[in-house]
Structure 1
Amino acid sequence: MPTTKPTPSAREQELLERAYAYSLTHGLADLSLRPLAAAIGSSPRVLLFLFGSKDGLIRALLARARVDELELLRQLDTQYDEPPGLPVVARELWTWLAAPERRPLMKFWVEAYGRSLVAPEGPWAEYGRSTVDDWLELLKASQPDPGTAEAQARRTGVLAMLRGALLDLLATGDLDRTTKAIEDYLRD
């Protein structure tokens, strides 16, 4: 018999959105159900009932964060009739990634990505890998001849540059310098 979870109730979705907003501000590293529940107007017992466990809640939060990321990917994917080229898409991605209103989401992503590397069997399993695959697929769609080894290397380099600049931006807040570095890299 399949073990698919039924569609979340309105209450479960509401609490997930509140927990997501809380985790964007407070992170996931030291997530404790009692303070989280108090902050979002619930109880640890209700959260455990709805999400099964703390790990289940973390998985739900990671999936919720990917919804925001994947929405950008869908928007960019449908924006162009022809592949616009890697530099165009990379610039749009950087603009989206570097926007001040996305800093909490980007910090959340960094934390989850790092956790997926050090705790690959836990609720973070496959999070890092799936985000790499998502972004590489978008970058691949922007290339006119994506099947070559050279094209694969170029999109991997662009992704590495974007993520490196993002880490630098989050650590220093220096948008001008990191944006200039991205522009310089994309000119080559």
Structure 2
Amino acid sequence: MTTDDSTPSDRRTELLEASYGYVLEHGLADLSLRPLASAVGSSPRVLLFLFGSKDDLVREILDRARRDELAFLRTLRDDHRQPNLAELGGRVWDWLADEGHRGLLTLWVEVFGRSLTDPDGPWTGFASATVRDWLTLFARGQSPRERRTVAGAARRTMVLSLLRGAMLDLLATGDRRRTTAAVRAGLDGLRTDPPASGRSAG
């Protein structure tokens, strides 16, 4: 609830959070300022005044979504245990399969696709940035020697591909049991480190 004592900065933060919640529920397709403003208790004029343009508002909403993703990644990076790649993949899958994250992941899929088909939109670079974020995390599940090799880069890319494909399947079907079994089966092949390759990943 906004009070008369709220500063423009406070109101901007409040409206960004409310807009983020709206987009998590409704997505970005055909997003219009008028229904958005009505849903968040504002007006199109105020949103444009505080955020500059619709595209600027969308960029900030996507930045807000990415902060949620990075917050989860940070919890894994801050864990002082050294998980292997399979264990790390399993923990990421548990998070992806949590029904409470469905809105965020659905938005992620939508924006990932838009960043490929409309690279000049407010989602510019979103797909490549998220790939880098996840590959950087999965490198933490590898020994320093392995992560520098071509084979190491291929293994963490394989984990990312496995989880992303299973996540899309889960979002489409809701079949958590089957997709989880598939992920566990795929990760079982990563329980032991491969022989170190002398080739560097660059």
* Equivalent position of 2:39 in the other structure: 39
Partner of 1:156: 157
Which digits, 9 at most, give the CA deviation of each residue in 1:47-83, with x for residues without a partner? Answer: 11111111001100100000100001100001134x3
**CA deviation vs aligned residue, 1:22-58 (integer Å, no higher than 9, x gap):** 0000000110000000000010011111111110011
Q: Deviations over 1:127-153 (max 9, x none)?
A: 111000000000011211211111100
Root-mean-square deviation (Å): 0.9
Which residue in the other structure is 2:88 paired with?
Answer: 89
1:25-174 mapped onto 2 (5 Å cutoff): 25-81=25-81, 83-144=82-143, 145-174=146-175
- In the aligned structure 2, how far is the partner of 1:107 from the partner of 1:142? 26
Which structure has the bigger radius of gyration? Answer: 2
Give the distance between the partners of 2:9 and 2:142, measured in 1 at CA. 41
- Provide, for residues 112-168 of structure 1, a one-character-per-residue CA deviation record: whole Å limited to 9, x for no partner: 111101111110100111000000000011211211111100000100110000000
CA distance in 2, matches of 1:50, 1:89: 40
Report the AA paired with residue 175 of structure 1.
R
Identity %: 56
Give the total of aligned pairs. Answer: 180
Q: Give the whole-Å Cα distance in 2 for the aligned partners of 1:166 and 1:11.
A: 35
Task: Tell me which stretches of 4 or more aligned residues in structure 1 moved more than 3 Å.
Answer: none
Distance in 2 separating the partners of 1:142 and 1:77: 10
CA distance in 2, matches of 1:98, 1:80: 24
Mean Cα deviation higher: 17-26 or 138-147:
138-147
SS at match of 1:79: coil
State the TM-score, normalized to the length of structure 1.
0.94
Q: Which runs of 5+ in 2 are unaligned?
A: 1-7, 190-202
- Is 1:17 aligned to 2:14, yes or no? no
The runs of 5 or more residues in structure 1 that have no matched partner are 1-7
Q: Which residue of 1 aligns with 2:195?
A: none
SS where residue 166 of structure 1 aligns? Answer: helix
Cα distance between partner residues in 2 of 1:143 and 1:121: 35
SS at match of 1:9: helix
Tell me which amino acid in the other structure corresponds to 1:47: L
Q: TM-score, normalised by structure 2?
A: 0.87
SS at match of 1:42: coil
